[in-house]
Amino acid sequence: MSSNTPSSSAGGVGSADAAAPRRNSKRPKYSKFTQQELPACKPILTPRWVISAFLLVSIVFIPIGVVSLFASRDVVEIIDRYETACVPQNFSNDKVSFIQSAVDKTCNRTLTVKKLMKQPIYVYYQLDNFYQNHRRYVKSRSDSQLKDNSSWNDVSSCKPEDMSNDQPIVPCGLIAWSLFNDTYNFSLNNQQLAVNKKDISWKSDRDKKFGKDVFPKNFQNGTLIGGNRLDPSVPLSEQEDLIVWMRTAALPTFRKLYGKIERDLQPNEVIQVTLLNNYNTYSFNGKKKLVLSTTSWLGGKNDFLGIAYLTVGGLCFFLALSFTVVYLVKPRQLGDPSYLSWNRNPAGH
């Protein structure tokens, strides 16, 4: 009563009219939103729903698994691990000194095609135990320098490969410094097998990340030579090996595209590979492999995804079955109030 005094004192007896708008202004506005009553869908996991969900997953997953497995099987791969074989016998105990010496590193390998390989056949080199994702390594690059000639001396992030003979290195950094420098020459029936090294890198990298006016400078001039040298007259945007190398791999076992062979290889054809085994993986026991591979719609040869899909699909099928069985054996009526704890407890005691 007393709290009403201000409003009712103003209008006296006839204060009802005056109070009405006031009340309206204070009363919370009614809307479905403010009352938390927005129309909503309330899905409930009914057994039927659950079983169909599992069935659906298995119906989708098993075929995908089968198809992926087939795709992976269709891929023909020739893998040749050569880092041990290409070390002469007399260096077999000290491979590091071999690779650091000035001995001729040429090595001949023979690959036999087992199945028909349709073009394009991708030539990769595969490194093992090479941590291109090492923190020190991935940080040691200068994107601005690669892109733009004017920032050629922006090498602060490139340590320890930033300067050589007090001059900035272009391209600087550990990644560029350690550029892979084994080379492969393929010949089939004594005929040179052309390897197309064009367009092996991402177009986006060539266009936007590596400048057309940036030329290698002062590169591999230091005390310690890490890897390949670059032709100072070719702009970085055309140094595709470098561009591929600089897309650092995510995992310690990785392949890098070397080139493409653009002709079919028939079964039982023998390919002679003359390679220069220059790259030092011996200091960290890294393996080097040469890989020739066709591709499928799913990429390279990897059974994992197919198996994974089959497993998940199979599991879901099994779950669907077992839920059906359980549902048939021991059904529970949904929303049956007799299951409520306060209805159940009396019986339980």
Return the residues of window 55-84 that contact another protein according to CB under 8 A.
57, 61, 64, 68
- Sign of the Cα torsion 179, 180, 182, 183 reads negative
Kind and range of the H or E run holding 255: strand 254-261
Indicate the residue type of 134.
H
Q: Determine, following the binding rule CB under 8 A, whether residue 1 of this chain makes contact with another protein.
A: yes
Based on CB atoms, which residue is closest to another protein, 146 or 271?
A: 146
Based on CB atoms, which residue is closest to another protein, 107 or 307?
A: 307
Q: Are 161 and 174 in contact (CB under 8 A)?
A: yes
The interaxial angle of helices 47-74 and 304-329, nearest 10 deg, is: 160
Stretch that binds another protein, among 2-10, 87-95, 103-111, 188-196 (CB under 8 A): 2-10
Please provide the distance, in angstroms rounded to a whole number, between the alpha carbons at the two ends of the chain.
Answer: 53
Based on CB atoms, which residue is closest to another protein, 144 or 272?
A: 144
CB of residue 268 vs another protein: minimum separation in angstroms? 26
Q: Determine, following the binding rule CB under 8 A, whether residue 314 of this chain makes contact with another protein.
A: no
Q: Determine, following the binding rule CB under 8 A, whether residue 101 of this chain makes contact with another protein.
A: no
Stretch that binds another protein, among 172-180, 183-191, 233-241, 267-275 (CB under 8 A): 172-180
CB of residue 73 vs another protein: minimum separation in angstroms? 15
| CA trace torsion 119, 82, 112, 265 (10° rounding) | 10
CB of residue 91 vs another protein: minimum separation in angstroms? 17
Residues 22-51 that bind another protein (CB under 8 A): 22-23, 26-30, 34-36, 38-45, 47, 50
Q: Determine, following the binding rule CB under 8 A, whether residue 223 of this chain makes contact with another protein.
A: yes
Q: Are 186 and 273 in contact (CB under 8 A)?
A: yes
Based on CB atoms, which residue is closest to another protein, 235 or 272?
A: 235
Site string for another protein, 278-297 (x = CB under 8 A): --x--xx------------x
Q: Determine, following the binding rule CB under 8 A, whether residue 317 of this chain makes contact with another protein.
A: no
Characterize 120-140 residue by residue with b for buried, 16 or more Cβ atoms within 10 angstroms of its Cβ, and e for exposed: ebbbbbbbbebbbeeeebeeb
CB of residue 22 vs another protein: minimum separation in angstroms? 7
Site string for another protein, 176-215 (x = CB under 8 A): -xx-----------------------x-xx--xx------
Is the bond leading into 120 cis (omega within 30 degrees of zero)? yes
Q: Are 182 and 279 in contact (CB under 8 A)?
A: yes
Stretch that binds another protein, among 85-93, 230-238, 267-275, 320-328 (CB under 8 A): 320-328
Place of tokens 């030329």: 215
Distance between CA 239 and CA 56 in Å, rounded? 49
Distance between CA 248 and CA 180 in Å, rounded? 12
Contact residue for another protein among 119, 196, 253, 274 (CB under 8 A):
253
Distance between CA 186 and CA 80 in Å, rounded? 13
| CA trace torsion 24, 30, 35, 39 (10° rounding) | 180
CB of residue 136 vs another protein: minimum separation in angstroms? 6
Contact residue for another protein among 69, 111, 123, 174 (CB under 8 A):
174
Residues 133-162 that bind another protein (CB under 8 A): 133-138, 143-144, 147, 159-162
Is the bond leading into 267 cis (omega within 30 degrees of zero)? no
